[in-house]
Structure 1
């Protein structure tokens, strides 16, 4: 389902991954570049993923992005509270369920400020004016890659959709891009 009248500043809601509109095979390539084994990648491809996304500003005006992921699809349904992100470009140490220990940082930027063309274009005019959420993730041990993500709103087939674009670059300069598209499933 398309987004209701929402703004890029607050696209809070429940979202379900739309596998038909997403670059799923390319996302598998991204996971492979990040060192995720074949069996785990196949399991990730079989599940249904739902995210509760909460975008808000605290009393000091600092933006936050909180995510709770729900996984199902033949597996025991599991809800996992992913790390809350403060959109102030400060390093935060996290324990990611697939990648282990990582350092992440996030901020709101204009798409033109993102240093990768694949992540800059295609956003709604609102995102172009108000900004998108830019996230960088770097593993702290073992694996040599950097993940850049941009979260925002795009118009796809005449409907506004929440999308997440991923660009992973390995230490050997292999670059993999994918876009995940989400259906709006209602308010939180």
Structure 2
């Protein structure tokens, strides 16, 4: 179902199921990331569920304890069809942290809240991402909802920007999270650019909220 007004970038708590009809095909992105054919096919057939816990808590290492609390986002991802789940614990303070799982291997990732508009374009266009203008527009373009009701993150942020870097396999993934009007309804979405050398894949994942 569509995201209720109470669900914003400042409160993603709850259960979300990827809407396969509204989302882009994930197989090209998984192939670029080096995921095997059979695993890609199984993921494509599976129903993927995210259980999200968003809260304020002590920062994850390597941040010093005296840095104070940050917004934590813990995600348990499960799938049907015998696909093994994954756990992803984020700390939205912009610090780079290492994470490993069975699907994507070891990646160094960071997450931070970002305001809408030009600030969002600057955020995805900067750093070490090496994205071209088309990718920046895809991630941060005008399809995002950005009225006052969406600005519920720290300092009025409307988005979360995440970057994952797998140095062994040579790919990076840049994501922007937020809300868009899709199919006439307000929905939680992630715009994603995957890049490996001169190859890239752009895709949008759309999620239904499960009360």
TM-score, length-normalised on structure 2?
0.78
Unaligned runs of 5+ in 1: none
Aligned residue runs from structure 1 range 66-145, under 5 A: 66-72=74-80, 74-75=81-82, 79-80=85-86, 82-110=87-115, 111-113=120-122, 114-115=124-125, 116-121=136-141, 122-126=143-147, 127=150, 130-141=157-168, 143-145=169-171
Contact 2:48 2:79 in 1 (8 A): yes
Number of the residue aligned with 2:24: 23
Q: Which of 163, 168, 188 is matched with 1:162 structurally?
A: 188
Deviation of 1:46 after TM superposition, in Å, equals: 1.2
Q: CA deviation at 1:44?
A: 0.9
Gaps of 5+ in 2: 59-67, 126-135
* Count of aligned pairs: 179
Cα deviation, residue 166, structure 1: 1.2
CA displacement at 1:132 relative to structure 2: 0.7
Q: 1:79 to 1:146 in 2, by over 3 A?
A: closer
DSSP 3-state at the match of 1:11: coil
Distance 1:175 1:38, change over 3 A: same
Q: Which is strand-richer, 1 or 2? A: 1
